[in-house]
Amino acid sequence: MEDKYNLLKVHIEKIVALTEEEFAFVKQSFIRKEYKKSDCIFKEGENVKYIYFVLSGLLKLYYTDENSKEHIVSFAMEDWWESDIQAFYTNGDASFTLECLEDTELLCLSLENFERMCNNLQKMERFFLRKSIAGHIGSQQRILSFLTSGAKERYEQLITRNPVLVQRIPKLVLASYLGVSRETLSRLFS
């Protein structure tokens, strides 16, 4: 149990150092939850109560169009944060669905606890600023990947940035993320 929270501590301390007392305060702001493969954390149209820090497992965040086709916005695995951030910060409804691709364990942070942490511990405000900038950069890169015409180029960008992620994602899901057929993906792989 302690060990699991240790992943969060190591993660935070890459950016800011915390005393034992400070980390105890941070820790109690989170709720730990377990999900099975194929469980949905939230679905499109539902209220989004938390941002999630992934302790183990793999998630996909996706949008479903009017033809029921899935479009993947992003993936998240251990040591990453994920949510429908607009819905979370504005207390609105989800535009996306967040689903487990593997059995997954999450630390869940509510908006109330997020704000309490920032108000009481300047280091955590700094931490979240750095993470938010990183998230914003990630989104700008995903936009760039939409604008980049070639699927081969998109695939190469992804494998350069996240080789471990690419190994773990089912091929059909990866093909969907890249916007290509499974056959095209097989050609890229070889």
Contact call for residue 89 and a copy of itself (CB under 8 A) = yes
Shortest reach from residue 134's CB to a copy of itself, in Å: 8
Exactly one of 7, 8, 16, 85 binds a copy of itself (CB under 8 A); that residue is 85
178 φ, ψ (degrees, to nearest 5): -85, -10
Give the total of residues touching a copy of itself (CB under 8 A).
Answer: 34
Exactly one of 9, 15, 39, 95 binds a copy of itself (CB under 8 A); that residue is 95
Restricting to residues 114-173, name those near a copy of itself by CB under 8 A. 118, 122, 125-126, 128-129, 132-133, 135-137, 139-144, 146-149
Contact call for residue 73 and a copy of itself (CB under 8 A) = yes
The residue (of 5 and 118) whose beta carbon lies closer to a copy of itself is: 118
The residue (of 56 and 145) whose beta carbon lies closer to a copy of itself is: 145
Rounded to whole angstroms, the maximal C-alpha distance in the chain is 54
Using CB under 8 A as the criterion, which residues of the chain lie in contact with a copy of itself when the complex forms? 63, 65-67, 71, 73, 84-86, 89-90, 95-96, 118, 122, 125-126, 128-129, 132-133, 135-137, 139-144, 146-149
